[in-house]
Structure 1
Amino acid sequence: MYTSINIRPYQPGEESALYAVHYSAIHLVARRDYTAEQIRAWAPYDTNMCQWANRIRAINPFVAELAGELVGYADLQSSGYIDHFFVSGKHPGQGIGTRLMQHLFQEAKARGITELTSNVSRTAQPLFEGFGFEVVEQHLPERRGVVIPNALMRWSLPLDIAPEHDAPRAEQPGQRLAPTPEPFDTPNGAHMHWFLLALKKYATFSGRARRSEYWYFVLFYLLIFFALSVIDGIMGSFSAASGMGFLGGLLTLGLLLPSIAVGVRRLHDTGRSGWWLLLAFIPIVGAIVLLVFFAQDSAAGDNAHGPSPKNSFA
């Protein structure tokens, strides 16, 4: 899916098309998290297009194209601040927000930026959290006299895996770096955030979890379990009969609840009830069916369990 989404620098003359993206994102998607009054103040019918065009030229964003149509845009300032991040409300659940965020990570890596920040709407926070952003503080900004809550969120690259700064990719004055062809190239260690995200939602059975959150949780769980099993073997506390040792048993017990919770949220994300997790008690067949369910992509758009974690904006 991502290969059909083209990310490129904004071009002068596209300001009106980007306002259409901005407007649809707020009026069609954000309305689930904000009142009608807040929506009208945030993206008014009578916006000053001259001021809007100046704002777009100032932030110089990247745009997302799908079949030749502009369907999203986002910017990355030299300070690491993300001012705008919007996905068209007419194209939900197609991975556009994810692809834009991936590109911003690529840009940050190329420029040697180790910290990203943004004032993020309630609607976009699940997407940002999925990429490892954390809430720093809640804000209550006003537009046209109406309070529209958001949160300052921050992502920081761990110091021990910070990129080299002595030879960044060349960038000519007044130009933006060209999109890189790789589908995803986040800084090393970024995938660990998915595991940590699942731990933060330790006993959260509501909402949705995309494939990345579920499978990276499983991956790091197994890696830690294997490492602890080796230690158990060295200490003589490993039991061949049970297939685990003392430390492995503690890990299994400690992560039992988040394992169930992330499984339930993953089923929710595919449009299914969490009760399908009971298939695990059916030998072999149940496990195979659940593996198929867990491998499926997110259900497009909102469903009964919440908004798509793939379609969010700041």
Structure 2
Amino acid sequence: MRKILPPWSVLLLHFVASAALASEREKLSVRPILISEHPDDETHRIYVKGQVVTTLRFDRPVEPENTKMIGWEGRLEPLSVVRNKVILEPLHDLNADEAIPLVVRLVDGTEVPFLLRPPGRDEWARTDQQVDIFEDQESHAALRAALTQALKRNGALTEENERYRKEETSEDHALAALLASGAVAQTPFMIADHFSGKDDDAEVDATVFQGKGKAAVVFTVKNLHAENAWSVQRVRLVTKDSSHDRAIAVRATAREITSGGSGRVALVADGSAFVDDGMLTSLWLELYRHDGLRQAFVQLDPALIAR
């Protein structure tokens, strides 16, 4: 059994976490914005991330001399305009409360205001890599982009609803909910190991459980950040040798842990997850927090399911 977050490995974990973000950056994120003429409509947000290029693509040329950001110095590279495109590149991540105004002037005199913001925590506020902006809402390109976006969201919601339906009747999710609530005595698990560690933003205690045909891990997280909330972005369970993804049930006591607060994240893996090509294998359990960094990892051995 390998320990997570021992003091000597905190820095290594952050280096590994940064590398893990590369695959996320390679996924192209494109979304459309239809410009409304209604004066009460909210200024559109553009979600930017440090050292990731964001391109705003308009349906007509942009005037470079009248396209400006306010208070960008030290936060972004100078913007550049190439015909109908505005190119932005933050030097580093913006703070959660930062908002940088941007006004783009088109050749027809139209001025379009935006706010540059760090990515939000919900699914629709991911980092923007390309934003297609349409002033003519009735154009073929605008209508096609809006339809594509609507179909994508509908498909994602359908998948999410199906996942929730399956989780309602899942034994593993029920066990994870009991573990997260602290009702260990109501589960078939026994403690196999316990260890802890911390970095600048969080202190993590982890308890590994063994059971007949199942294994579990409970993370107790204390948020040490002075301002930002802590939450789980994603969890990965992969085979140690072949890196094949495995299913895992996840339950948490809260969606977010506020500054100074604590919460639990419980995870349950079925014994079938340990089988790879007919052989028992060890698994890596990885916990990624809200900013994409890998907060913790645990090696789970097949012996955990043999009780």
Instruction: Give the greater-gyration-radius structure (CA).
Output: 2
Q: Same fold (TM over 0.5)?
A: no
Structure (1 or 2) with the greater strand fraction: 2
Q: Under a length normalisation based on structure 1, what TM-score does the superposition of the two structures give? A: 0.21
Structure (1 or 2) with the greater helix fraction: 1
Q: Under a length normalisation based on structure 2, what TM-score does the superposition of the two structures give? A: 0.21
